[in-house]
Structure 1
Amino acid sequence: MPVSENSGVKVWHRRTRQESLVRWFGWLLGVAVFVVCWQRISEATTWFFVWDAPRIAGDIWTRATPPRWEYIAQLGRPIWDTLNIATLGTIIALCMAVPVAFLAASNTTPSRYFIRPVALLIIVSTRSINSLIWALLLIAIIGPGVFAGVIAIAIRSIGFCAKLLYEAIEEIDRAQVEAITATGASRWQVMSYGIVPQIMPAFAGIAVFRWDINIRESTVLGLVGAGGIGLQLSSSLNVLAWPQVSLILLVILVAVLISEWVSAKVRGAII
């Protein structure tokens, strides 16, 4: 602590001189990095288009309104495909995420040094790649269509669901597990009666939450050929049919709002 020159009494400061210098150096370094990054971005940006963006946006808005309402008859099947992609993808992901979560949880895994790292690798690898990239890879392998979209959504969702679920497994009340174990129950009986009942509310919440997210993600998979309403959106954009584009965006908005409402109601009933 620094000492006052007049009275010789120690004066309290929030930080020492060294801590203040380190803090200011950190801020200076952050500003320098920001300036360098902004300079690189500015060099790669055509600023004429940026300043002209409001006029272009206004022109597109004029072309897109009013929406082409008669086109809605052709969106029934695509939006149904989108809902199927999200729902089936979520179900497949949950079926695969449950065993992965039990293998990844430290209190249920058969081996902490071999099986658990493999399960964690599966969780990280499936979460680190976006569903659009999975869709592009799957389209190249199995061809375009709804099936590729379902598998892409499923793979992307495995890591998300398994991560939240294995964290819930690790946070269970161990007293219940010990009580059931003390009765001489087998490993499967302990899991069925001591662990599963405790994680069922978390499992249901994770399932509904992920389904809600997948509704949003499945609406854009059609842009890369994975089926659903995104395919209609891509086709309309390619021919600059802006009234159709605005109608498709409205349909997507309504679908997302409905899924959000359903998700909130289900989570509220569970919790």
Structure 2
Amino acid sequence: MPVIKTESGPVWLRRTPQASLRLWAAWFVFVALTVWCWLVMTKDTIWYFVTDAPQQAADIGSRMFPPRLSYIEKLIWPLWDTINMATLGTMLGVAIATPIAFLAARNTTPSLMIARPIALFIIVASRSINSLIWALLLVSILGPGLLAGIIAIALRSIGFVGKLLYEAIEETEATQIEAVQATGASGAQLLNYGYWPQIAPAFWGISVFRWDINIRESAVLGLVGAGGLGLQLQASLAVLAWPQVTTILLVILATVVFSEWVSAKVRHAII
């Protein structure tokens, strides 16, 4: 911390003049970059529609209430499809992500130069693409339906589960692994008695947490043809049936709240 000597005694400065100059220069660059980004993002904006947005929102909101509760009867099977899509997609994603996590972890990978980079690439590739994009691609390849949604959920889950799980594997206690190895245990026995007891709480917690997230994501995959509640939402939006849209949104909200409650209870019981 710099000091300036005066007649009344030393004065402590928070920063040197050079540090203050660099700080102000950084702020200037940040503000200039923010202004430039704002100009780029809004260059094609029609501000009339922006100023008219509150009136349009109020008009649509008035049409959405009261919700058409009788429409819930037609949402039972789509809701069941949504839950199945999330559950099966999560199970498939976890099944694929688990061996990938062991390949990515430094203490379990068979090759730091080949297997680990490949596993990390798969994890990053999965996490970098949203499930909605996966669903768009898969609907184009497989056609509309739940299968495309299930695979899209699984592909998105691989990166999430794989990353958290391989980090949990790398944090395992080495002494316990060495004790099991000292008994002459096979590779399968080492996984079963050395690694699994240490990572089991993290494994189940991660799986349930991902299932909770997938419930939310699967609810909207139908917008691109993957089935479930999203498909009903798309159909209602297409015909401007706003009371039905409100009902669907309420069902989605109730489903997400229920899945959050189940997820919290299961994680609390496991961990």
Give the TM-score band, short-chain normalised: over 0.9
**Distance in 2 separating the partners of 1:81 and 1:180:** 44
**Contact 2:4-2:13 within 8 A present in 1 as well:** no
Q: Which amino acid aligns with 1:118?
A: I
Q: Which amino acid aligns with 2:122?
A: I
Secondary structure in structure 2 of the residue aligned to 1:107: coil
**Residue 202 of structure 1: aligned partner:** 202
**Residue 85 of structure 2: aligned partner:** 85
**Residue 231 of structure 2: aligned partner:** 231
**Distance in 1 separating the partners of 2:4 and 2:30:** 32
- The aligned runs of 1:111-126 (5 Å cut-off) are 111-126=111-126
Q: Which structure 1 residue ranges, 5 or more long, are not aligned?
A: none
**Residue 57 of structure 1: aligned partner:** 57
Secondary structure in structure 1 of the residue aligned to 2:197: helix
**Distance in 1 separating the partners of 2:31 and 2:17:** 21
Cα-to-partner distance string for 1:175-226 (whole Å, 9 max, x where unaligned): 1111111222223322211111100000000001000000000011000001
Q: Which amino acid aligns with 2:159?
A: G
Offset of 1:43 from its aligned partner?
2.2
**Residue 265 of structure 2: aligned partner:** 265
**Residue 98 of structure 1: aligned partner:** 98
**Distance in 1 separating the partners of 2:201 and 2:143:** 38
Q: Which amino acid aligns with 2:178?
A: E
Secondary structure in structure 2 of the residue aligned to 1:112: coil
**Distance in 1 separating the partners of 2:194 and 2:125:** 30
**Distance in 1 separating the partners of 2:85 and 2:10:** 68
**Distance in 1 separating the partners of 2:22 and 2:213:** 42
**Distance in 1 separating the partners of 2:33 and 2:223:** 35
**Distance in 1 separating the partners of 2:259 and 2:268:** 14
Moved over 6 A (4+): none
**Distance in 1 separating the partners of 2:189 and 2:13:** 60
**Distance in 2 separating the partners of 1:12 and 1:196:** 56
TM-score (norm 1): 0.96
Secondary structure in structure 1 of the residue aligned to 2:119: helix
Q: Which amino acid aligns with 2:14?
A: R
**Distance in 1 separating the partners of 2:188 and 2:11:** 64
- The aligned runs of 1:32-181 (5 Å cut-off) are 32-181=32-181
Q: Which structure 2 residue ranges, 5 or more long, are not aligned?
A: none
Pairs aligned (count) = 270
Cα-to-partner distance string for 1:115-146 (whole Å, 9 max, x where unaligned): 00000000000110000110011011111101
Secondary structure in structure 1 of the residue aligned to 2:4: coil
Cα-to-partner distance string for 1:157-189 (whole Å, 9 max, x where unaligned): 001000000000000111111111122222332
Q: Which amino acid aligns with 2:144?
A: P
**Distance in 2 separating the partners of 1:130 and 1:39:** 27
Offset of 1:46 from its aligned partner?
1.2
Offset of 1:239 from its aligned partner?
0.6
**Contact 2:144-2:226 within 8 A present in 1 as well:** yes
Cα-to-partner distance string for 1:71-102 (whole Å, 9 max, x where unaligned): 11111110100000000000000100100000
More divergent stretch after superposition (39-48 vs 254-263): 39-48
**Residue 193 of structure 1: aligned partner:** 193
Offset of 1:45 from its aligned partner?
1.3
**Residue 4 of structure 1: aligned partner:** 5
**Residue 23 of structure 1: aligned partner:** 23
**Distance in 2 separating the partners of 1:188 and 1:20:** 60
Aligned residues with identical type, % of pairs = 63
Secondary structure in structure 2 of the residue aligned to 1:4: strand
Offset of 1:19 from its aligned partner?
1.8
Offset of 1:10 from its aligned partner?
5.2
**Distance in 1 separating the partners of 2:193 and 2:35:** 58
Offset of 1:13 from its aligned partner?
2.5
Secondary structure in structure 2 of the residue aligned to 1:237: helix
